[in-house]
Amino acid sequence: MNRNAKRKFKISLKKEDLDLNKFFQKGHLSFVFTVLFIALVLAAIVFGPVHYSGRIRVGEISLRSIYAPYDFRYPWGVNEKRTKESREELIKSIPDVYDIEGVREEDAVKNFVSLFDALQAAGEIQDKAEKKLVIETLNTETGLDIRDNVLEYFTELKDAKEIKEKLVSVLSSLYPLGIIDPETRKKLIEENLSVRIRNPKIKTERIRPSKELFTPEDAEKVASEYIDRMFPKNSKLRKYSIDLVTPFITHNLVFNEQLTTRIKEEALKNATPIYDMLEIKKNELVIERGQRITKQHIAQLTQLGALGGISRKGPYLSGILFLLIVLIGVGITYLTVTEKKIITSPKNVSIILINCLILIVIS
């Protein structure tokens, strides 16, 4: 910084400029008040008028008559019929909860392994008559109605351990899918209902349309596909494996009535009633002076306030924006012409305040 610049800088920082009294005496205070006043006006315009319902309460006496500034509708009186229909639709839309019972899978795998091991033990019997008797006894005791030639085939397997593990994996992969009783599925389809399937064991749940639910017959088809891929080169083993596995496939989806009821009751509790919409025409009397305020009056005025809010009144917002543009234009023009006098003359400041007052009245 050269000497001349330093000199100018020192001259500009006179002591009197740092004195607040001198600052206010020069008219700066008038300008500050003007800015604050305009800011308050803008805030009033942006936030809008206070709703009627915020100024009066039920039981009070109206101090003035209030007329509808425009046509509007407001909710009043519960429509029992529509509310009932809505609740019925709500209940119908909530899927029933069905749990996958892990016990069914455990029992199926356990019984299958027991039968398979028993067949392997029967395979060690040398006497054919005795062996046949054992197989018939196993079939009778289990009640599975598996053909004797199928059971006999599994008594003669050489790689029985590997085959048993594969067939157990088939059963274990079917049950987590969720298998439903055919009669229950039929009823759900007729009612066009979906089902929420929960697996408490792994804490998962999913919603499936009733048409996509697996019955034991569907699960048997899936098991057949699994087995076909496991033993692609041995058709006899594939066929007999399917015959041996399918009797152990049963439904494991159980209706959870308690949880279903609780979910539906909670939904009904939070459901909103459907109200009738009553109409009030423009300039129609809403509240008469001296009339006692009722809940219906509050509903009417609340709706009036909501409809008259800045966010829903496009014409109102456009008008205010236009007035702001005009005011700002006038202000800029005025300041350009009288910039030197505006901050020193209270008379000039009053002109701006009057303009702002006119803006408030018009808005």
The ranges assigned to domains in the chain are 21-48+313-362, 52-79+274-307, 92-266
pLDDT of residue 246: 92
Q: What are 61's strand-pairing partners? A: 292
**Would you say how long the chain is, in residues?**
363
Give 216's Cβ-side CA count (13 Å radius). 15
Dihedral-angle region of residue 290 (phi above 0 means left; psi in -120 to 50 means alpha; beta otherwise): left
**C-alpha to C-alpha distance for 222 and 215, rounded to whole angstroms:** 11
Amino acid identity for residue 80 in this structure? E
**C-alpha to C-alpha distance for 107 and 112, rounded to whole angstroms:** 8
- Closest to 218 (Cα-Cα) out of 255, 174, 167: 174
Rounded to 5 degrees, what angle do the CA atoms 197, 199, 200 make? 130
* Residue 287 backbone phi and psi in degrees, to 5: -135, 130
Q: Positive or negative CA dihedral for 336, 338, 344, 350?
A: negative
* Residue 254 backbone phi and psi in degrees, to 5: -120, 130
pLDDT of residue 110: 92
DSSP-derived 3-state class of residue 155: coil
DSSP-derived 3-state class of residue 278: strand
284 with 68: CB under 8 angstroms? Answer: yes
Q: Positive or negative CA dihedral for 135, 137, 140, 142?
A: negative
pLDDT of residue 295: 87
**C-alpha to C-alpha distance for 349 and 244, rounded to whole angstroms:** 101
pTM of the model: 0.59
135 with 142: CB under 8 angstroms? Answer: no
**C-alpha to C-alpha distance for 334 and 121, rounded to whole angstroms:** 110
The separation between CA 349 and the C-alpha centre of its own chain, rounded to angstroms, equals: 55
Measured CA to CA in angstroms, residue 77 lies from 71, 154, 187 at distances of 19, 74, 38
Q: Identify the segments of the chain with pLDDT beneath 50.
A: 1, 5-18, 20, 23-24, 26, 49-54, 306-312
pLDDT of residue 311: 44
DSSP-derived 3-state class of residue 228: helix
Tokens describing residue 349 = 């400041």
**C-alpha to C-alpha distance for 180 and 98, rounded to whole angstroms:** 9
Dihedral-angle region of residue 325 (phi above 0 means left; psi in -120 to 50 means alpha; beta otherwise): alpha
Q: What is the DSSP string of 158-198?
A: SSHHHHHHHHHHHHHHHGGG-B--HHHHHHHHHTT-EEEEE
- Closest to 210 (Cα-Cα) out of 224, 191, 238: 191
CB pairs under 8 A, 24+ apart, for 333-342? 342/31
